[in-house]
Amino acid sequence: MPFQAIESQRLYQQIAGQIGALIRRGEFAPGDRLPPERDLARSLGVSRPVLREAMVALEIAGLVEVRTGSGIYVQPPQDSEAPPDPTQNPLDLIRARRMIEGEIAAAAAGNATAEDLAGIAGAMAMIEAAVADGRDTLQSDRLFHVRIAAATGNPVLVSVIEELWARMMAAPVFVTLRRRTGLTDYEPSMVTDHSRILDALRRRDPAAARDAMHAHLAQVEEVMLCGDSSG
């Protein structure tokens, strides 16, 4: 098998580059199924979660399609020569949110007014209602996080969170990744995560708010990296 083990930081980018080069050279033709995930990870000398990150990058580039329960298939060449936007990788966006929103939650715990907390609680109630009714929680989830940013009293942070969410929701691969990885099935647990964040804000506990936000977004990342790509 024409793969080389890789040892470096940002492994998924190098793996995506290596597999992408093989596809462009014709080692794999459009419609071909790539080797099973476990075999591919073993050949490359990396973990399966790292390989899944590479597959996300290749999907963004339009080189492969991951079909749940079937496998990873090579896509026909794209007409556009425009390079993919690296800021639309949903995993990188989640990680950016984790770095930023932990501190935002801590700041909100110290600065939130009673009105702010009521607004965050209102967004929490919308999430709970959506989960109970089997509806999508994406918009109410976004509102919850934006209102926490607003509770810091810093409009720049509100703009940052709105921009991160806009990029994530505009990412072509985000919707399919969200569905494929079972992130929607995680929504009942998400209610618990958000309740912990809200509780820490109400207790005016910056450290607990930071930890709860970090734990929530780390769980989202883990779910996105543990979806089924068959093999």
In this structure, the answer to whether residues 67 and 114 fall within a common structural domain is no
In this structure, the answer to whether residues 20 and 90 fall within a common structural domain is no
In this structure, the answer to whether residues 28 and 97 fall within a common structural domain is no
- For the chain, the C-alpha Rg in angstroms (whole number) is 20
Q: Which two tokens stand for residue 25?
A: 């050279």
In this structure, the answer to whether residues 116 and 33 fall within a common structural domain is no
* Domain span at 217: 86-225
Classify residue 77 as exposed, middle or buried by CB count within 10 Å of its CB (0-12, 13-18, 19+).
Answer: exposed
pLDDT of residue 50: 83
Indicate the number of domains in the chain: 2
Q: Which two tokens stand for residue 127?
A: 């999430």
Q: How far apart are CA 142 and CA 185, in angstroms?
A: 17
pLDDT of residue 184: 59
In a domain, 230, yes or no: no
In this structure, the answer to whether residues 138 and 219 fall within a common structural domain is yes
pLDDT of residue 185: 57
Classify residue 8 as exposed, middle or buried by CB count within 10 Å of its CB (0-12, 13-18, 19+).
Answer: exposed
- Residue ranges for the chain with pLDDT beneath 70: 1-9, 79-86, 172, 175-187, 227-231
Q: Are 211 and 203 in contact (CB under 8 A)?
A: no
In this structure, the answer to whether residues 29 and 58 fall within a common structural domain is yes
Q: Against a cut of 0.85, is the pTM above it?
A: no
pLDDT of residue 59: 83
In this structure, the answer to whether residues 38 and 131 fall within a common structural domain is no
How many helices (H) and strands (E) are present in the chain, helices listed first?
Answer: 10, 2
Q: Which two tokens stand for residue 80?
A: 């556009």
**Helix 187-202 crosses helix 90-111 at what angle (to 10 degrees)?**
30
Give the tens place of pLDDT for each residue, 170-218.
876 776 666 666 555 556 788 999 999 999 999 999 999 999 999 999 9
CATH code where residue 35 lies: 1.10.10.10
Q: How far apart are CA 165 and CA 143, in angstroms?
A: 10
In this structure, the answer to whether residues 184 and 131 fall within a common structural domain is yes
- What's the number of CA atoms in the CB half-sphere (13 Å) around residue 177? 28
In a domain, 2, yes or no: no
pLDDT of residue 183: 58
pLDDT of residue 9: 47
CATH code where residue 207 lies: 1.20.120.530
Q: How far apart are CA 180 and CA 226, in angstroms?
A: 10
